[in-house]
């Protein structure tokens, strides 16, 4: 984005404004934009809610908060869901930073989950649980990495389109998982996945989701350090900014691509492992629940910064949980709460535009630029 530094004259005709890239923006100003956008979003949603349903919007927002953090259970639930979404988002981030559009996270998560479930079914009872969990973890990391490496290999070898390739790999993974779900279903033929008893992740301090959260926190910290301070992280950003520059300074673009996609897939594999062994204790074709796609938004909104992404994934899960409470309390079709969430996210994304660009009046072209 930084390459577009001069004015973009969107129209030479009668438009009263043109768009100018901001050079830099003070952090508090950027946050001010974000806060204003949220307030605006809440006002717009409020107007829509009142006019369509007659529900008091303030009450609705309180219901939303109650649905997300109303009880201790809901708070744990919120953190657990945030952790899983964050984990998938962290997985796609290095690939995105490299401008490799990995939209195959959904499939990579499922394949990781499939590896975990396979171990739980066939190795459960043959070895001590800690060892079994270790094997599950290693195999799901490998499975995810392989699922990520396939499109990367074809990209480096034949310059195939990674967006389409990773997308298609999702459907392959979904069908493979659907096949095994049916194969392993109990009772046979019902299409209902069996509950996997052996190799479930243990509860720490009586909290069954704590281990998931801790694992994701560790991955977040490692990913932050990896991207920001490691040589490999630097190589990723260089490849992302310009492949030619990377080649010029002696970085093997192919190697970086393969390595980064293996990492991306591997972390997705861990997310699949956490979902199957840590929360669901079963495997279905919708175990990933669309997180592979939501993660794209989380990663972009968080500007590929793992620490920001904690916030963005939290925000999205918070909105989802709150929205489902709205439909429960007010007996509205869940689509209505989806609309509300959609509007809020739209405004937040919109605020990023005003943080990066500003509108300048065409009449005062000569006026000095200051934000």
Partner 1 sequence: MKKILSLLMVAVMLVASVAMLSACGEKANDKGAVNADFKIGFIFLHDENSTYDKNFLDAAKEATKELGLTDEQVIYKVNVPEGNECYEAAADLADQGCDIVFANSFGHEPYILKAAKEFPEVEFCHATGTTAHTENVANFHNAFASIYEGRYLAGIAAGMKLNEMIESGKITAEQAKMGYVGAFTYAEVISGYTSFYLGAKSVCPSVTMEVQFTGSWYDEALEKEAATKLLSNNCVLISQHADSMGAPTACENAGVPNVSYNGSTKSACPNTFIVSSRIDWAPYFKYIINANLKGEAIVADWCEGFEAGSVKLTEVNEQAAAAGTQAALDEAKAKLISGEIKVFDTANFTVEGKTLDSYKADVDTDEAYTPDTEVIADGYFHESEFRSAPYFDLQIDGITLLNNMF
**Residue ranges in contact with partner 1 by CB under 8 A:** 28, 31-32, 35, 62, 65-66, 69-71, 73-74, 77, 182, 185-195, 279-282, 284, 286-287, 289, 324, 327-328, 331, 333-334
Rounded to the nearest whole angstrom, what is the least distance from the CB of residue 328 to partner 1 in the complex? 6
Instruction: Name the residue with tokens 């927002």.
Output: 61
Q: Contact, 292 vs 108, CB < 8 A?
A: yes
- In terms of CB distance, is 34 or 254 closer to partner 1? 34
- In terms of CB distance, is 54 or 189 closer to partner 1? 189
C-alpha span between 249 and 256 (Å, rounded): 13
Rounded to the nearest whole angstrom, what is the least distance from the CB of residue 320 to partner 1 in the complex? 11
Q: Is 20 helix (H, G, I), strand (E, B) or coil?
A: strand
Q: Contact, 187 vs 161, CB < 8 A?
A: no
Rounded to the nearest whole angstrom, what is the least distance from the CB of residue 122 to partner 1 in the complex? 13
DSSP H or E run through 357: strand 357-361
Residue 120 CA to its chain's centroid (Å): 27
Environment class of residue 25 by beta-carbon count within 10 Å: exposed (0-12), middle (13-18) or buried (19+)? middle
Rounded to the nearest whole angstrom, what is the least distance from the CB of residue 54 to partner 1 in the complex? 15
C-alpha span between 9 and 172 (Å, rounded): 44
- In terms of CB distance, is 70 or 350 closer to partner 1? 70
How far apart, in Å, are the Cα atoms of 78 and each of 74, 82, 209, 315?
Answer: 6, 6, 10, 10
How far apart, in Å, are the Cα atoms of 342 and each of 74, 81, 286, 290?
Answer: 22, 19, 22, 15
Rounded to the nearest whole angstrom, what is the least distance from the CB of residue 277 to partner 1 in the complex? 12
- In terms of CB distance, is 235 or 280 closer to partner 1? 280
- In terms of CB distance, is 155 or 284 closer to partner 1? 284
- DSSP class of residue 15? -
Rounded to the nearest whole angstrom, what is the least distance from the CB of residue 250 to partner 1 in the complex? 43
- In terms of CB distance, is 195 or 361 closer to partner 1? 195
C-alpha span between 229 and 351 (Å, rounded): 29
Rounded to the nearest whole angstrom, what is the least distance from the CB of residue 283 to partner 1 in the complex? 10
Q: Contact, 89 vs 313, CB < 8 A?
A: yes
- In terms of CB distance, is 75 or 217 closer to partner 1? 75
Rounded to the nearest whole angstrom, what is the least distance from the CB of residue 203 to partner 1 in the complex? 13
C-alpha span between 340 and 332 (Å, rounded): 12
- In terms of CB distance, is 74 or 146 closer to partner 1? 74
C-alpha span between 359 and 19 (Å, rounded): 5
DSSP H or E run through 21: strand 17-21
């Amino acid at each position: 984005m930084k390459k577009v530094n001069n004015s973009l004259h969107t129209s030479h005709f009668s438009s009263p404004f043109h768009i100018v890239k901001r050079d830099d923006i003070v952090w508090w100003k950027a946050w001010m934009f974000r806060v204003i956008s949220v307030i605006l979003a809440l006002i717009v949603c409020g107007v829509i809610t009142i006019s369509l349903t007659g529900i008091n919007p303030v009450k609705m927002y309180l219901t939303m908060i109650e649905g997300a953090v109303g009880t201790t259970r809901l708070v744990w639930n919120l953190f657990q869901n945030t952790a899983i979404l964050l984990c998938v988002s962290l997985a796609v981030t290095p690939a995105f930073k490299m401008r490799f559009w990995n939209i195959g996270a959904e499939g990579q998560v499922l394949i990781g989950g499939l590896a975990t479930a396979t171990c739980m079914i066939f190795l459960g009872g043959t070895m001590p649980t800690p060892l079994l969990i270790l094997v599950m973890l290693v195999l799901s990391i490998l499975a995810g990495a392989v699922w990520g490496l396939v499109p990367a290999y074809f990209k480096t070898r034949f310059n195939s389109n990674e967006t389409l390739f990773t997308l298609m790999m999702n459907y392959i993974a979904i069908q493979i998982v659907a096949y095994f779900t049916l194969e392993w279903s109990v009772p046979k033929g019902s299409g209902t996945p069996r509950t996997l008893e052996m190799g479930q992740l243990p509860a720490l301090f009586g909290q069954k989701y704590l281990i998931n959260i801790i694992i994701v926190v560790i991955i977040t910290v490692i990913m932050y350090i990896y991207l920001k301070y490691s040589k490999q992280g630097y190589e990723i950003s260089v490849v992302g900014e310009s492949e030619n520059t990377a080649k010029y300074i002696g970085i093997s673009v192919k190697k970086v691509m393969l390595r980064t996609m293996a990492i991306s897939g591997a972390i997705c594999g861990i997310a699949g492992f956490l979902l199957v062994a840590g929360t669901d204790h079963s495997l279905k074709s919708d175990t990933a629940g669309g997180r592979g796609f939501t993660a794209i938004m989380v990663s972009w909104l968080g500007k590929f910064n793992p620490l920001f992404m904690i916030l963005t994934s939290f925000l999205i899960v918070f909105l989802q949980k709150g929205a489902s409470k709205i439909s429960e309390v007010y007996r509205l079709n869940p689509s209505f709460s989806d609309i509300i969430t959609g509007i809020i996210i739209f405004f937040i994304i919109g605020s990023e535009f005003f943080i990066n660009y500003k509108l300048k009046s065409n009449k005062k072209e000569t006026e000095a630029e200051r934000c």
